[in-house]
Structure 1
């Protein structure tokens, strides 16, 4: 939607987080005479010069506006939206309609999605492109809100959640899908809708990069085919063989050759290097740059050895698949695993089957879905050492009571943090503070 189409309309920004505030600032800059309304809880209000509406959101409230600019975290499948006659758009839609071609030269937009690995892949791509001499920025779900970015960059790397992909407003030059698992079922309603919403990013792009080894991505390609695409994790390009990143028949990097842990990160790197190749850039400086990249906070982040126990913060892990990937970086039989958090209804059967024959030394479940995880794991293996505790703080204390020198204490919850924390960052920070209490 063009900014000129908003001039005579009653506009509401729904949601006042980072993107909501950036959207308000953007509209105030470009349409200073426009009266803006913000729909949010009372405690989020500030003195930004807009009119706040703190009423519970219903279709009637939404119908009081011609256009509602909805924040990504608000599901369009809820009753209030479905029953409303207002026009709903996203900040991404505003940016692509008004900013992409504002300058003399439009930036290349590379949008990266996937159930896990998005932030790390965006980070690695950013460092790789910088090493190739490009002016680039990370935007979207990780980094700067897209609506706050101008079009002066050579490349905009857009981390794209399923929420942001849902409306099809993102028109990327190159869209990357790393993998597809079950996630955000409370927002998307079911698995099928989640996959369809995620896949919309690729159908709206000029070209796609698809994981040849991801089963669900290949199923989606059969069901809703993308015409212009290139594969990674395929012998024709970048792929992983025996824990080594390959390009065709040439070995490039092993898991021991850089600072990131886990073979799954080599798969992420295969996608990143595929993008570098598609953009026509020199692979060598890009690869040399990513070798030096330390892990991002809360993503298999080592907190050192405390009381002889290796402590790892993987608070970002919000799916069982992410937890399984984390477990591959530790000796499972010497790992005390902390699971649980906000319950999105994700099925833990897959994870339970994975660890049935070889399980961690101890599993401590906590949080809103902790008891459900416990029951699922015990159904598969009733001799597995798994226990429920009420809070993560209790899990940390219990974990140190059973861990011995040389063991690993791994926070990889497999669930979001919203039952007890503001976000995964706060959960990871609090975890780091709690474990410090056990220093000797």
Structure 2
């Protein structure tokens, strides 16, 4: 970690705790800052705040008093999920106080080079793929950022021999200033989080912030399946390295079922360890980053062949009596489920779908679900999902929860078929988050395994 003096004796407000806020507060205190933490959760129910207070950090809990901002803070570091129309954030901006996320802190102290990954879909899988390729090739890769390891916490122990493989959300990227990765990757850009950003243009602008400080010595890897990416390619000083499944490009591409990098054949698409056309895109993006980092074709192939996926993202759970189970609970929108289905034979697939009702219909999904053996439907959105199934000519059965849906799907399946949880909906009508939903699917599979062992 770089021993910087930028924050010595400067007053900094950390707004919102969770893991990233706690990490930021500790880091800032270690750098000599005068830190105040403000979190909405009451102090007696807030173990993180209690721990920070014991370490000598000032905490204000239970509310967000606007007058706190009269204390002449020089920087606010906010939790990425807190919106910019939040009264505390809006007031800070009015007062000219810079508002950052902890990603900026990570960059300022990091001795390690940074590979930054963002996008609408595929971020976590691609981030994990890249890290596994790096580590397989003997390069020390440290996962950080939106993937569950606060960037400012990981950067503390990273050395110049490491590479920070950093997954970043649009929320995090709105709060950067000097942040400067050596390689930046955007997997794809689709309309999402519009409730936070206001419109798609603002969302794209947040993602594109990632390359603001990059120079002609850096690289931006872009998905040339999208015309938007080709437009963005004209707006950066960095060297653009494209990837595509639809055309030969001066980067990574799919041709004749083979993955190439600049005319070098790397591997067959069918050899990737996880199914789906979206994972071909993820693999191509990974290949581009790996080649830019000096990793050999053989190492790349070996790592991608053995790649087993990410928990809750087309995760292979196991097999019971010839029926294979896949957990894609992280598919919380239609596009993600469309991509998941692209890797399966519909006639042999039972899809479990449904969840939070956001008021949208599922007509876009109709072409992708045609020919499915069965859909098991649950949650608030079940009536809308069933309407799409009816248009596609697919039979449906109702389930009360994920455990019930898993049991029903298995009872209807035969050897050689697949049970795929890919809900196309958020989980919040029945579950705290998609992880809890996916964990119930895994637990249900394990129970079925015990009950049906031969």
Contact 1:306 1:436 in 2 (8 A): no
Aligned partner of 2:79 in structure 1 is: 71
User: In structure 2, how many angstroms separate the alpha carbons of the residues matched to 1:319 and 1:194?
Assistant: 17
Q: Secondary structure at the match of 1:381?
A: helix
Structure 2 unaligned segments of length 5 or more: list them.
Answer: none
Aligned partner of 1:313 in structure 2 is: 327
User: In structure 2, how many angstroms separate the alpha carbons of the residues matched to 1:135 and 1:372?
Assistant: 47
Contact 1:184 1:344 in 2 (8 A): no
Once the two structures are TM-superposed, the CA of residue 200 in structure 1 deviates from its matched residue by 2.0
1:295 corresponds to which of 309, 318, 321: 309
Is the alpha carbon distance of 1:398 and 1:212 closer, same or farther for their aligned partners in structure 2, counting shifts above 3 Å? same
Matched, 1:412 2:422: yes
1:391 corresponds to which of 395, 401, 420: 401
Q: Secondary structure at the match of 2:76?
A: strand
Aligned partner of 1:36 in structure 2 is: 36
User: In structure 2, how many angstroms separate the alpha carbons of the residues matched to 1:252 and 1:76?
Assistant: 44
Deviations 1:90-116 (A, max 9, x none): 11122323x13xxxxx42211011222
Contact 1:112 1:160 in 2 (8 A): yes
Aligned partner of 1:360 in structure 2 is: 372
User: In structure 2, how many angstroms separate the alpha carbons of the residues matched to 1:211 and 1:225?
Assistant: 15
User: In structure 2, how many angstroms separate the alpha carbons of the residues matched to 1:339 and 1:305?
Assistant: 20
Once the two structures are TM-superposed, the CA of residue 419 in structure 1 deviates from its matched residue by 4.1
Is the alpha carbon distance of 1:415 and 1:382 closer, same or farther for their aligned partners in structure 2, counting shifts above 3 Å? closer
User: In structure 2, how many angstroms separate the alpha carbons of the residues matched to 1:266 and 1:69?
Assistant: 37
Aligned partner of 1:103 in structure 2 is: none
User: In structure 2, how many angstroms separate the alpha carbons of the residues matched to 1:225 and 1:117?
Assistant: 23
User: In structure 2, how many angstroms separate the alpha carbons of the residues matched to 1:263 and 1:242?
Assistant: 14
Per the normalisation by structure 2, the TM-score is 0.82
Is the alpha carbon distance of 1:361 and 1:253 closer, same or farther for their aligned partners in structure 2, counting shifts above 3 Å? same
Aligned length: 426
User: In structure 1, how many angstroms separate the alpha carbons of the residues matched to 2:128 and 2:419?
Assistant: 26
Structure 1 unaligned segments of length 5 or more: list them.
Answer: 101-105
Aligned partner of 2:159 in structure 1 is: 152
Once the two structures are TM-superposed, the CA of residue 178 in structure 1 deviates from its matched residue by 1.1
Once the two structures are TM-superposed, the CA of residue 433 in structure 1 deviates from its matched residue by 0.9
Once the two structures are TM-superposed, the CA of residue 189 in structure 1 deviates from its matched residue by 2.9
Structure 1 window deviating more from structure 2 (299-308 vs 207-216): it is 299-308
Aligned partner of 1:402 in structure 2 is: 412
Once the two structures are TM-superposed, the CA of residue 221 in structure 1 deviates from its matched residue by 4.2
Once the two structures are TM-superposed, the CA of residue 208 in structure 1 deviates from its matched residue by 0.8
Per the normalisation by structure 1, the TM-score is 0.84
Deviations 1:335-373 (A, max 9, x none): 221223346677744333444xx2422223433544444
Once the two structures are TM-superposed, the CA of residue 334 in structure 1 deviates from its matched residue by 2.4
Matched, 1:190 2:190: no
Is the alpha carbon distance of 1:27 and 1:248 closer, same or farther for their aligned partners in structure 2, counting shifts above 3 Å? closer
Once the two structures are TM-superposed, the CA of residue 327 in structure 1 deviates from its matched residue by 0.9
Contact 1:255 1:262 in 2 (8 A): no
Matched, 1:173 2:182: yes
Is the alpha carbon distance of 1:181 and 1:229 closer, same or farther for their aligned partners in structure 2, counting shifts above 3 Å? same
Once the two structures are TM-superposed, the CA of residue 317 in structure 1 deviates from its matched residue by 2.0
Aligned partner of 1:48 in structure 2 is: 51
Contact 2:274 2:309 in 1 (8 A): yes
Q: Secondary structure at the match of 1:49?
A: helix
Aligned partner of 1:25 in structure 2 is: 26
Deviations 1:74-133 (A, max 9, x none): 222456633554632211122323x13xxxxx4221101122222222222222223443
2:349 corresponds to which of 335, 355, 374: 335
Matched, 1:126 2:163: no
Matched, 1:136 2:141: yes
Aligned partner of 2:274 in structure 1 is: 260
User: In structure 1, how many angstroms separate the alpha carbons of the residues matched to 2:70 and 2:402?
Assistant: 42
User: In structure 2, how many angstroms separate the alpha carbons of the residues matched to 1:346 and 1:68?
Assistant: 37
Contact 1:7 1:31 in 2 (8 A): yes
Aligned partner of 2:444 in structure 1 is: 434
